[in-house]
Amino acid sequence: MEQPKPPSRSPSFPASKTFGEDAEVTSALSSSSSAPPSAGGNLRNKLTRKKSVLVAFESIFSKDRKPVEEDDTCAFIPEGCASSFDLPPQKTARIPAALGSQQSFRLLHVYHLIGITFFAVTSGPFGFESTVGAAGPVLMQVGLLLFQILWSAPLALMTAELSCMIPLSGGHVLWIYRAFGPFWSFVNSCFAFTCSVLDNAVYAVLFVEFLSSLLYGDSHRISHAWSVVLRVLVIILITVLNIVGIRIIGVTALVLTVAVLSPFAAMLIWGLPRLNFKWIHGQTPQHIELGRFITMLLWNSSGFDGAGNIASEVESPASSYPRALAASVILIFAVYGLPSLIGVSILPDYNEWKRGAYMIAAKLIGGRTLQIWMGLSEVLSAVGLLLTRICINSRVIYGMSLVEQVPVFTWLHPRFGTPWISILTTSILTLLLAEFNFYSLAEADMMFYAMSTMLKFCALVQLRFTEPDAFRPFRIPVSRNILAVLTVVPIGLCLCMLYFASNRSQVIGIIGMIAAVLGYLLKELLPHYGKKAEEVVQQRVARVQQNIERMQQWIDLVTAKEFKIINTRASDITDCIEMSAAQSSTASFRPQNDSFKEALDSEC
């Protein structure tokens, strides 16, 4: 039997069969494949004439393209987009229908992605008060600025580069799979999934606590029975919204962002006349709780990488991710820094800075009205956190299923195109864990997040060394050696989280590591019990290669679609420029008055 040829420049496959439900991608690829080879040259000539305006496109269209072959559906991609994997001859793996059909539905724009990233990281300054109590207002402001540079910015840059390079839902599960293979990807998936369900449970508990504070203050608490009912109701509502579609999550997150930040905007406006800097010379704690201070700063600045979990559901990820993440870093710094400046001007004593300090400051600035408004904002922030976290965390097990680490979860809803089984599983686990204590959940959550984040930064560096020529629409503007040095800082902060964690959390982390390794061994060995080791290894290597090839096929399709969009926009811009130039030329030679026109006619 004749072996099929391996993919040379990029995998070829019939788009009509693999992506039957994706009319937009199929038509885009068909039109680009059927276009004459000279089309790219004509466009390049136009761009050269207008390169002062279209200089951004010059690097894309200045390369020569080979003629389009009949079945080369990805031939529109420049040489830089080619797959970095030289696979041995084997049967070409087809992309699951889940990936193709997901693109048939409405996708997220940049502003939707900003809203989702905002709630993935913070949802407002609630919970940030304890940093002032741990180290004082001066160290809080200095630490906030430093951690934005040393922690938040590296997380955002890493997410932008890897999400643009591998624009697939599943995020870091697939990044680490491509960098280190199935073992470390499985270990990371266990860490990430455990962290995600703990996250969700934390926010379900916070929702009830915030609602209780809004309704009763400190005098009374919602009963346990009612708290269970409320948690169940809000999780059911959020689960339904997540199944209905990713776009509604983006719109809701954007609306909730405005609603959560509105009382803080009012607090800034009304409190601006009372702004002062006496707190700089005020009291500072005699004993600075350094471990708690660092942990809380990291806790409140983490989560940018979660935005990469929904990459295949974002429109034009190559342009959307860098802009959305840059805007999110600035927004989150402002959300923490500005209200804190007003707050410490009103409450300069660090002993008063514990949970609820913003509510007290709001009452002193705007009275009972602003306090109630702030309390409602606190409840909405918990809803936004839970809504967004179930969305992005459900894509973790969806990504695991794409590389065969768990079964079934690639199934998408036939109408809405969302991974409904992953969403339901995440929601059920959230309900089960919501009975635990908030602080116990938070400690364990940060342990698993730290271990997972170290693997993400290692994957970023590894892919720079192993795939230096892979197509990266966005690349952190440093060499791979400098990048390796720079990642030492965020990895060191992850180690700080592990070091300053409580003994109980460290034990939980060790148990989690052992469980992940044993889980991988059982997953790999039990199905092949009784078979020859050599045969099992060969089969497993072939499956890993097929998974990587399948990932690259989808990446090539997304890239081809983005290049087609750029071509279309470039043509429109060029046509507009030429039309404007023609109109300007005509206007410059147009007779200015009737006498001049008569003289010109008589002269002619």
- pLDDT attached to residue 553: 79
pLDDT reported for residue 16: 32
* Max avg pLDDT among 116-125, 482-491, 524-533, 576-585: 482-491
CATH of domain 105-465+479-488: 1.20.1740.10
- What is residue 64's predicted lDDT score, i.e. its pLDDT? 40
Quote the CA–CA distance of 521 and 515 in Å, as a whole number: 10
For residues 108-137, give the mean pLDDT: 89
pLDDT exceeds cutoff 90 at 462: yes
For 242-299, write each residue's pLDDT tens digit: 998 889 999 999 999 999 999 999 999 999 988 888 888 877 777 888 888 888 899 8
The top-scoring range by mean pLDDT among 79-93, 294-308, 541-555 is 294-308
Residue 162 confidence (pLDDT): 95
Instruction: Provide the residue type at 114 as one letter.
Output: I
Q: What is the model's pLDDT at position 388?
A: 93
Residue 12 has pLDDT above 90, yes or no: no
CA distances for 406 relative to 72, 173, 226, 461, angstroms: 32, 12, 35, 27
| Mean pLDDT of the residues in the chain | 77
Q: What is the dihedral of CA 92, 98, 102, 103, to 10 degrees?
A: 20
pLDDT of residue 442: 65
Contact 241, 384 (CB under 8 A): no
pLDDT tens digit sequence for 100-115: 444 445 688 999 999 9
Residue 88 pLDDT greater than 80, yes or no: no
Q: Who wins on pLDDT, 306 or 63?
A: 306
Contact 95, 18 (CB under 8 A): yes
pLDDT at 4: 44
d(CA 356, CA 362): 10
The confidence score (pLDDT) of residue 474 equals 92
What was the pLDDT predicted at 580? 73
* Distance of alpha carbon 178 from alpha carbon 462, whole angstroms: 10
Judge whether 160 and 321 are in contact, CB under 8 Å: yes
Neighbours of 533 (CB within 10 A): 8
Whether 34 shows a pLDDT value over 50: the answer reads no
How confident is the model at residue 293, as a pLDDT?
87
Q: What pLDDT, on a 0 to 100 scale, did the predictor assign at position 417?
A: 81
Name the token pair of 51.
């390169």
Percent with pLDDT over 90 in the chain: 30
**Could you tell me which residue, 503 or 492, shows the higher pLDDT?**
492
Token pair recorded at residue 224: 């346990």
* Of 21 and 257, the one with more pLDDT: 257
pLDDT given for residue 252 in this prediction: 94
- Whether 439 has a pLDDT exceeding 50, the answer reads yes
Question: What pLDDT band is residue 410 in, cutting at 50, 70 and 90?
Answer: confident
pLDDT for the residue numbered 576: 77
State the pLDDT at residue 208: 87
pLDDT at 214: 84
Mean pLDDT of 306-310: 92
Confidence of residue 50 (pLDDT cuts 50, 70, 90): very low
Q: Using CB atoms within 10 Å of the CB of residue 1, give its burial: 0 to 12 exposed, 13 to 18 middle, 19+ buried.
A: exposed
What is the separation, in whole angstroms, between the first and last Cα of the chain?
81
pLDDT reading at 301 higher than 70 = yes
Q: Which pair of structure tokens corresponds to residue 562?
A: 């983005």
Q: Where are the domains of the chain?
A: 15-92+531-577, 105-465+479-488
- Give mean pLDDT, residues 147-156: 94
Q: Which residue is it, tokens 């030429």? A: 578
| Torsion sign over Cα 563, 568, 569, 574 | positive
pLDDT in tens, 314-330: 988 888 999 999 999 99
**Does residue 46 have a pLDDT over 60?**
no
Q: Tell me the C-alpha distance between 122 and 546, whole Å.
A: 38
Q: What is the mean pLDDT of residues 58-85?
A: 36
Top pLDDT among 436 and 51 is at 436
Portion of the chain with pLDDT greater than 70, in percent:
76
374-386 pLDDT, tens digit each? 999 999 999 999 9
